[in-house]
């Protein structure tokens, strides 16, 4: 139709007569290139289009599965790579144990020093080697508790992000620097008069500060680190009911639906049950089954049209007339005024709400049927539901380190003043 509509030029054109003369041959050439589909061939054509659509979907999904297999193949790798992952996991666990023991030992020694006890005085060799132990502890000071979780997610092909790593490293390094300074002060305070006079004599200044750094570093995992997971997705077919209806429809209904006007409703007409069919005087009344709901179709359709909806036949002898002055008659004046108000209300400037039907190509639903299970943003571990039990526990977990540090500071200052 588009080729035929664009074939003839304007009547004022010099080629108009020649084009009109060649119009039958042009139509025959069009019918040869694009033969029309009859009603008998319409189901076969629709089945062919449906098969092409399914083939395109299978090809696209097959490509995605192939990429997933290649990624899994790259991730799994050879047995040597699996052994490497096993060794890294074992070393990660050993570093975690050393990190925890080092933090606990530092907190215990600082607490005992604040109360006037010096357990390292009885072990002079350990006190002399304390700076070297602190230097060696740098190997596990910045131990990452989320390493295994991130590695497992990447092996499964999921893109997981870690937030707050920079702040976590800063907290761990601050605690390590405080350990090193305290160790150097304990070992070399007898060789330096400055340390003996201004540092060792006032332990209430540096010991509470070092203890605060240790507590912050110990609870920095829950304060700083957060893992961001991608939202889970799944493919669902949102056009299944339409495909069922199109298959069950006859060629006549298909041709009628293709020739429908843009203003016609897009939902198929459903035969409503007769409300008076169950009222019968026979011994076996005919009971009509209730209408079954269909997904995607409105359940409250309009009732059967009454006699008032039937238009009255027009009278051919009726006189066409309009009032000369509509304002003199109250009835017609009110109607004309109402029409004028309706025309000037600006409703014609509103955005378009109804669109003309378009012929499907078979590929528009390929990516439109991919829906997110959760429409929210990407889930973060530190943002649970505040009303749930996990959310309450998460909030308490975040505030517990701060409360512990706040409660330890007065005790530390009290112990320092007693010394």
pLDDT at 307: 44
DSSP state of 196: I
pLDDT > 60? residue 74: no
Within this chain, do residues 123 and 11 fall inside the same structural domain, yes or no? Answer: no
Task: Specify the pLDDT at position 350.
Answer: 64
The residue range of the domain holding 18 is: 2-62
pLDDT value for 183: 84
Reference 239, options 32, 54, 39; nearest CA is 54
CB 114 within 8 A of CB 416: yes
170 and 54 share one domain: no
pLDDT at 278: 46
Whether 197 shows a pLDDT value over 70: the answer reads no
pLDDT at position 270, please?
Answer: 42
Give how many domains the chain has, as a whole number: 2
Is 4 a residue whose pLDDT tops 80? no
- pLDDT at 372 > cutoff 80: no
Average pLDDT over residues 97-120: 84
> For the ranges 36-40, 81-85, 147-151, 367-371, which has the lowest average pLDDT?
367-371
Tell me the average pLDDT across 332-360: 61
Q: Is residue 260 part of a domain?
A: no
Question: Would you mind telling me the total number of residues written for the chain in this entry?
Answer: 419
Using DSSP, state whether 324 is helix, strand or coil.
Answer: coil
* Residue 308 structure tokens: 């008032």
The 3-state secondary structure of 278-321 reads CCCCCCCCCCCCCCCCCCCCCCCCCCCCCHHHCCCCCCCCCCCC
Provide mean pLDDT across the span 341-346. 53
pLDDT value of residue 269: 43
Residue 162 in domain: yes
Asked if residue 227 is part of any domain, the answer here is yes
pLDDT-based confidence at residue 253 (cuts at 50, 70, 90): very low
Place of tokens 């490293």: 169
| Residue 153 pLDDT class (50, 70, 90 cuts) | confident
pLDDT at residue 286, as a whole number: 52
Return the residue matching tokens 């108000």.
341
The arithmetic mean of pLDDT across residues 84-97, rounded, is 87
347 token code pair? 């409703």
pLDDT over 70 percentage in the chain? 48
> Is 81 within a domain?
no
Residues 54 and 156 in one domain: no
Q: Is residue 157 part of a domain?
A: yes
Which residue, of 45, 62, 79, is where some domain finishes?
Answer: 62
Mean pLDDT of 178-194: 77
With 0.85 as the threshold, say if the pTM is over it.
no
Angle at 391 between CA 390 and CA 393, to 5 degrees: 65
Q: Can you give the pLDDT at residue 100?
A: 92
Mean pLDDT of 54-62: 85
CA 267, 269, 274: angle at the middle one, nearest 5? 140
Q: How far apart are CA 323 and CA 330, in angstroms?
A: 12
Q: 261 versus 222: which is more confidently predicted?
A: 222
**Phi, psi for 252 (deg, rounded to 5):** -65, -45
pLDDT computed for residue 259 by the predictor: 41
Q: Per-residue pLDDT tens for 278-308?
A: 444 445 555 556 666 666 666 654 444 444 4
Q: Is residue 211 part of a domain?
A: yes
Contact predicate 147/155, CB 8 Å: no
| Same domain, residue pair 219 and 158 | yes
Q: Is residue 48 part of a domain?
A: yes
């Amino acid at each position: 139709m588009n080729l035929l509509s664009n074939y003839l030029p304007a009547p004022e054109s010099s080629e108009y007569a020649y084009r009109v003369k060649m119009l039958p041959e042009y139509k025959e050439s069009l019918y040869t290139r694009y033969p029309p589909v009859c009603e008998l061939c319409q189901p076969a054509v629709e089945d062919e289009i449906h098969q092409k659509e399914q083939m395109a979907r299978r090809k696209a999904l097959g490509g995605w599965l192939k990429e997933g297999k290649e990624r899994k193949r790259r991730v799994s790798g050879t047995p040597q790579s699996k052994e490497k992952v096993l060794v890294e996991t074992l070393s990660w666990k050993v570093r975690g144990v050393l990190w925890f023991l080092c933090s606990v030992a530092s907190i215990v020694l600082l607490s005992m020093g604040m109360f006037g006890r010096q357990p390292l005085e009885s072990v002079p060799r350990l006190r002399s080697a304390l700076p070297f132990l602190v230097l060696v502890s740098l190997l596990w000071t910045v131990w990452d508790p989320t390493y295994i979780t991130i590695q497992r997610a990447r092996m499964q092909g999921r893109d997981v992000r870690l937030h707050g790593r920079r702040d976590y490293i800063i907290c761990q390094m601050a605690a390590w620097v405080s350990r090193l300074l305290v160790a150097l002060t304990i070992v070399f305070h007898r060789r330096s008069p400055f340390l003996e006079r201004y540092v060792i004599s006032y332990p209430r200044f540096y010991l509470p500060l070092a203890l605060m750094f240790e507590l912050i570093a110990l609870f920095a995992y829950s304060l700083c680190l957060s893992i961001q997971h991608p939202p889970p997705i799944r493919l669902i077919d949102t056009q299944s009911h339409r495909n069922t209806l199109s298959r069950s429809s006859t060629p006549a209904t298909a041709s009628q639906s293709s020739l429908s006007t843009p203003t016609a409703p897009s939902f198929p007409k459903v035969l409503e049950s007769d409300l008076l069919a169950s009222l019968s005087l026979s011994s076996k009344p005919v009971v009509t089954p209730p209408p079954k709901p269909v997904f995607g179709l409105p359940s409250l359709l309009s009732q059967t049209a009454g006699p008032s909806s039937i238009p009255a036949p027009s009278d051919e002898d009726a006189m066409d007339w309009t009032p000369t002055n509509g304002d003199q008659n109250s009835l017609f004046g009110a109607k004309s005024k109402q029409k004028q108000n309706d025309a000037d209300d600006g409703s014609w400037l509103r955005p378009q709400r109804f669109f003309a039907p378009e012929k499907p190509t078979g590929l528009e639903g390929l990516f439109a049927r991919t829906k997110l299970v959760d429409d929210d943003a990407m889930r973060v571990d530190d943002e649970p539901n505040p009303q749930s039990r996990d959310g309450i526990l998460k909030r308490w977990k975040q505030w517990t380190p701060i409360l512990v540090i706040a409660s330890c500071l007065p005790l530390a200052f009290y112990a320092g003043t007693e010394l």
